[in-house]
Amino acid sequence: MSSEQSARILDITAIERFKAGLADFGDAIKIGLLEADSEIERAIGWLERDRLHHWKRQIQVRNEEVATAKSALFRKQMQGSAKDGRPSVVDEKVALDRAKKRLRNAEDRHRACRRWRNRLEQEYAIYKGHVQGLSTVAERNVPVALATLDRMLQNLEAYVRGESGAQDEINRLIEEDDKRAGMNRAVTEELDTSATNDDTEPNPGEERT
């Protein structure tokens, strides 16, 4: 067997340690990917179900505040004064401006949350594409490698216990070598005999005595 087809195993426990390390590596990948997915999905869910819902509700509430402030201003403007017939509406205008600012703030935050949600979903899709190869390693390649190492260890352990049939194979090869050596000896002896007979025969031109 050539050196490219053989291996020199000095320590089976080294393979066992490598197998354990490979299994831990596969588990670490799967756990890491699951944790990352969980965190990203939690963030998307928080924006979708918590923040967007909150600010949508706030927009409704603050629209009502604006409507209330407008009504208060209108009523005050319709009131008459005993002195000049023009009541002060400063407080009502201030309240209306404040209500409008609060409404704009809620609308801005709602748009920002929707934009962040959409951007995060896009980035999440890109991330999933980038880690697909790593996920394949953990889900498919590592289990295949572990199964291969299992078979290798089983064969090596069987060889150490003498249960692999290796000794029978060695004996068969020795017997074949012996047969070939015997055949080679027989051919050599036959050739030597033929050469000896050729040397003892007289030449055709010589007289027989």
Asked if 27 and 127 sit in the same domain, the reply is yes
Q: Note whether 159 and 172 are same-domain residues.
A: no
Gap between the Cα atoms of 117 and 109, Å rounded: 12
User: In this structure, is residue 5 part of a structural domain?
Assistant: no
Containing domain of residue 87, as a range?
12-164
The pLDDT assigned to 54 comes to: 96
Same domain, 50 and 151: yes
**181 and 86, same domain (yes or no):** no
- Whether 27 and 99 share a structural domain: yes
Same domain assignment for residues 83 and 177: no
Number of domains within the chain: 2
According to the model, what pLDDT value does residue 167 have?
A: 56
pLDDT tens track of the chain, all 209 residues? Answer: 444 455 556 677 888 899 999 999 999 999 999 999 999 999 999 999 999 999 999 999 999 999 999 999 998 888 765 556 677 889 999 999 999 999 999 999 999 999 999 999 999 999 999 999 999 999 999 999 999 988 888 887 777 776 555 556 556 666 777 787 777 777 677 666 665 655 555 555 555 44
DSSP string, 101-123: HHHHHHHHHHHHHHHHHHHHHHH
Domain co-membership, 131 together with 191: no
pLDDT score for 209: 41
Judge if 122 and 22 occupy the same domain: yes
What is the predicted pLDDT for the residue at 173?
Answer: 61
